[in-house]
Chain A
Amino acid sequence: MALDTAVQESTPAVQERAGLWNRVPRGLITISIGVLLLFLVSYVFAPSSMTKGPLLGMLPFAAVLAIVSLGQTLVVQQGGIDISIMGAISLTVVIATHGADGDDSRVVPALFTALVVLVIAGLVNGFLVGRVGLNPIIATLGMNAVLYAIVLGYSGGIPQMNADLLSSMASGLTLGIPNAVFYAIAAVVVVTVVVKRTVPGRKFEAVGANPTAAWAAGLRVKNQQMSAYVWAMVLYWLGGVLLAGILKQPTAYQGDDYLLPSVAAVVLGGTSLLGGRGFPVATALGALFLSQLSNFVLGLGVSFAIRTIVEALALVIGVALYTLNWKGIRARVLGKNLSGSPPGGS
């Protein structure tokens, strides 16, 4: 109310409010509307997908996707892409389950080991891309192979049951909400605050937005690019730990399903694949959107082929919202209509 009054009273405040509105990222608005629409459509066409069981079943997976997509966002912001996300998640899952071997007291050391290995992998990734200047696809693809080699060497490809501690950590309920969701919210808050509200975070984003300008401003561009891969690994680690807890007996290849969805969530959240500003909250909503989408099509009870098509279409539409120049298209269509009408009008 106070704001409204102020707005009416002073012109600068009007500008301020318009500025605020402009500062809400377009991606966040779009994906928020998308998520709301999807839940509405789910409620109307596949009501079973909106009941307690499927929602509680979907949320932990959405949380994992949100967390690892945040990691991917950091890398994409720097104009990179991280293919080693698959190996990183699989390795975390394998170390978390095999390392603990069903024994609660060994869970923490196992998780710590996984974190150390992943941070080293992130440093190597960052070094190869940021310092040596390798193409991110090549560097992270190579790292993915290395991580999978460790996965196979460590586990022999054998799935292992998780420890109870891990299970309750990830899929237990607090206030009726799966614990994994709280971890995801915490991750989003931390990433958002650090990137948007701290000096190192602002530098990080500045480098992503325009490396040349950032360099000219005296920022350490390569260090920033390098750090993206390390922080991404920390987030993959958290996602992997939760995934290991959600599944009773995860396989050694559990990360395979996360490359495309993580990139999709980033794109749906409005972060450009060419680098620039990152939108953590929008990315997390993108992850929620993708998870509910698969929940929705499962609830529809349609065949697997249709499920796949619906998911692909939603992705295409989502990406098109950002990448196509809608104003241009509208202008052209309208323009054609105008020129198509008889001269002089009727």
Chain B
Amino acid sequence: MKRNRIILTTGAAVTALVLAACGGSSDSDSAAEAPQEDAASSEEAVEEAPEEEPADDSGSDDSGADDAADSGAGDVPPWCGPNEITLGFADGFGGNNWRLVTTETGRREAAKCPSVKELIYTDGQGDLQKSISDIQGLVSQGADAVVVFPDASEAILPTLQEAYGAGVVTVPYRVYPGGSDGDDYTAYIALDATNDGANYCAWIKKARPDGATVLVTSGPKGNSQGTDMATELRACLGAEGDKYTFVGEDPFEVTNWDPAETQKVITAAVAKYPEIDVIASDFGPSLVGALPEFTKAGRPIPALATSDGNILGCFWQDQQDAGNGFDMMTVATGNDHARTAIDYAVAVATGGEIPSSTAHQHALFEDSLDPDRPVQCDTSLPDYVFHSAELITAQEQAALLE
């Protein structure tokens, strides 16, 4: 009896360990093996990518990535210098569709430069300790440059300083880690979310020229992306006098970018505010579950200024077909931010031409009021692909994420 128990206990413990190891190692395995696989697949992609870019790129601003893409007529982009390097790509958290597409975008961008001899990708899995050891590991593996998505923000700064101090070109992007360019790291490639606010504002003025009541939503309280976007949007529409009014919390309603929370917040707003003409949000797909609340309450769906996603485009199309049509504009969801960061890091490390801008701007993507930017929906593809990703087609994303 006792022996059986011991055997069972050991068995259970071993099973748990194996399961845990499977879960834990799957990412690190893929991280270790990925460069070869992806180098091959991205080489193929590089050939077809430039052809698509001009059309997709037409609305984007002068970010580093776009400089590179525009001048991509030759074989080697100008940001790719002659010095051969090993490039580290440290993600703080790699476990969702947006991250997977962003990572692949970064890989394909790096593959454009033959001087990048090796790319090592690591996934911090949302764990600060792993994120730190990932970056340290990249440095000790001889990476000449590391591009970091610092999910842990300030907590990761000492590690960035350490890498930078060791002479590695260190480029954090999208999440501000504190510190400053040239002191703590090479350069921080920020997201210019103020530009999103300006784009939303311009479109709202076009879509609702006589004024409107606007609700703004974003992720966690105080997140810089939402704060910058909402502040600019409020200032810009506020300059029109009292034509435009805002409802909800200032600067934005907190949804944590979570579909459940978004649904609760929108439901409460529908009941509380008899008039909502426009919703501005920095994450479109999470609104899809919440917008039917308007229809349920017998009210029209407000005009939407947000970010793209196949699920949102198809929701728009469905509502259009059902006679509940609404106006919508989107900006790109920003998978191409990784390109701006890669370009910068590679340029500095290989001795290429350093991009002039250290900020990434989301390109204008869809606009239901502009025939040149139709809303995109492909029902044959999964709902979680982003049509706005410039280097990876929606079909490729579907295959990648399968």
A residues whose Cβ falls under 8 Å from a Cβ of B? 48-49, 51, 53-54, 56-58, 61, 124, 127-128, 131-132, 142-143, 145-146, 148-150, 152-153, 156-161, 243, 246-252, 254, 257, 294-295, 298-299, 301, 303-305
Residues of chain A lying within 8 A (CB to CB) of residue B248:
301
Asked if A149 and B24 sit within 8 Å, CB to CB, the answer is: yes
Q: Does B28 contact A (CB under 8 A)?
A: no
- Given A49-B268, A249-B383, do A150 and B285 touch, yes or no (CB 8 Å)? no
- Given A159-B384, A303-B249, do A48 and B95 touch, yes or no (CB 8 Å)? no
Q: Does B207 contact A (CB under 8 A)?
A: no
Within 8 A of A (CB), among B65-83: none
Number of interface residues of B (CB under 8 A): 46
Asked if B23 and A152 sit within 8 Å, CB to CB, the answer is: yes
Interface stretch among B34-42, B174-182, B255-263? B255-263
Q: Which of B100, B221, B265, B383 contacts A298 (CB 8 A)?
A: B265
Within the complex, the shortest CB–CB distance from B288 to chain A, in Å, comes to: 5
Residues of chain B lying within 8 A (CB to CB) of residue A257:
258, 260
Residue of B at shortest CB range from A296? B268
Residues of chain A lying within 8 A (CB to CB) of residue B8:
127, 131
Residues of chain A lying within 8 A (CB to CB) of residue B311:
161, 248-249
Residues of chain B lying within 8 A (CB to CB) of residue A303:
249
Q: How far is the CA of A339 from the CA of B100 in the complex (A)?
A: 71
Asked if A249 and B289 sit within 8 Å, CB to CB, the answer is: yes
Q: How far is the CA of A247 from the CA of B288 in the complex (A)?
A: 9
Within 8 A of A (CB), among B238-292: 248-249, 254, 258-260, 263-265, 267-268, 270-272, 285-286, 288-289
Q: Does B50 contact A (CB under 8 A)?
A: no
Q: How far is the CA of A128 from the CA of B11 in the complex (A)?
A: 11
Within the complex, the shortest CB–CB distance from A91 to chain B, in Å, comes to: 12
Ordered by A's residue number, 12 sampled pairs between the chains whose C-beta atoms are within 8 Å are A53-B293, A54-B271, A57-B293, A124-B12, A132-B9, A143-B16, A145-B23, A146-B19, A158-B100, A247-B263, A249-B383, A299-B272
Within the complex, the shortest CB–CB distance from B198 to chain A, in Å, comes to: 25
Residues of chain B lying within 8 A (CB to CB) of residue A305:
221
Within the complex, the shortest CB–CB distance from A118 to chain B, in Å, comes to: 14
Residues of chain B lying within 8 A (CB to CB) of residue A153:
22-23, 26
Residues of chain A lying within 8 A (CB to CB) of residue B221:
304-305
Asked if A156 and B259 sit within 8 Å, CB to CB, the answer is: no
Residue of B at shortest CB range from A139? B16
The 4 closest A-B pairs by CB, nearest first: A149-B23, A157-B95, A248-B289, A57-B267
Q: How far is the CA of A72 from the CA of B313 in the complex (A)?
A: 40
Q: What is the predominant secondary structure among interface residues of chain B facing chain A?
A: helix
Asked if B22 and A251 sit within 8 Å, CB to CB, the answer is: no
Given contact pairs A152-B26, A249-B259, a sample of 11 additional A-B residue pairs in the complex whose CB atoms are under 8 Å apart: A48-B272, A49-B268, A54-B268, A127-B8, A146-B16, A152-B23, A157-B97, A158-B401, A247-B289, A248-B289, A251-B96
Asked if B100 and A156 sit within 8 Å, CB to CB, the answer is: yes
Asked if A152 and B20 sit within 8 Å, CB to CB, the answer is: no
Within 8 A of A (CB), among B83-119: 94-97, 99-100
Asked if A49 and B271 sit within 8 Å, CB to CB, the answer is: yes
Residues of chain B lying within 8 A (CB to CB) of residue A160:
382-384
Residue of A at shortest CB range from B261? A257
Asked if B260 and A299 sit within 8 Å, CB to CB, the answer is: no
Residue of B at shortest CB range from A148? B23
- Given A149-B20, A149-B22, A249-B311, do A48 and B401 touch, yes or no (CB 8 Å)? no
Q: How far is the CA of A149 from the CA of B19 in the complex (A)?
A: 8
Residues of chain B lying within 8 A (CB to CB) of residue A251:
96, 258-259
Asked if A295 and B97 sit within 8 Å, CB to CB, the answer is: no
Q: How far is the CA of A5 from the CA of B276 in the complex (A)?
A: 60
Q: How far is the CA of A137 from the CA of B265 in the complex (A)?
A: 33
Residues of chain A lying within 8 A (CB to CB) of residue B3:
none
Residue of A at shortest CB range from B288? A248
Q: Does B399 contact A (CB under 8 A)?
A: no
Asked if B100 and A294 sit within 8 Å, CB to CB, the answer is: no
Q: Which of B12, B15, B97, B296 contacts A159 (CB 8 A)?
A: B97
Residues of chain B lying within 8 A (CB to CB) of residue A57:
263-264, 267-268, 293
Residues of chain A lying within 8 A (CB to CB) of residue B259:
159, 247-251
Within the complex, the shortest CB–CB distance from B163 to chain A, in Å, comes to: 26
Q: How far is the CA of A160 from the CA of B259 in the complex (A)?
A: 12
Q: Which of A145, A161, A252, A299 contacts B95 (CB 8 A)?
A: A252
Residues of chain B lying within 8 A (CB to CB) of residue A131:
5, 8-9
Residue of A at shortest CB range from B6? A132
Asked if A61 and B22 sit within 8 Å, CB to CB, the answer is: no
Residue of B at shortest CB range from A297? B268
Within the complex, the shortest CB–CB distance from B271 to chain A, in Å, comes to: 4
Residues of chain A lying within 8 A (CB to CB) of residue B5:
131
Residues of chain B lying within 8 A (CB to CB) of residue A51:
271
Asked if B267 and A301 sit within 8 Å, CB to CB, the answer is: no
Q: Does B322 contact A (CB under 8 A)?
A: no
Within the complex, the shortest CB–CB distance from B187 to chain A, in Å, comes to: 29
Q: How far is the CA of A305 from the CA of B401 in the complex (A)?
A: 37
Q: How far is the CA of A186 from the CA of B263 in the complex (A)?
A: 25
Asked if A249 and B19 sit within 8 Å, CB to CB, the answer is: no
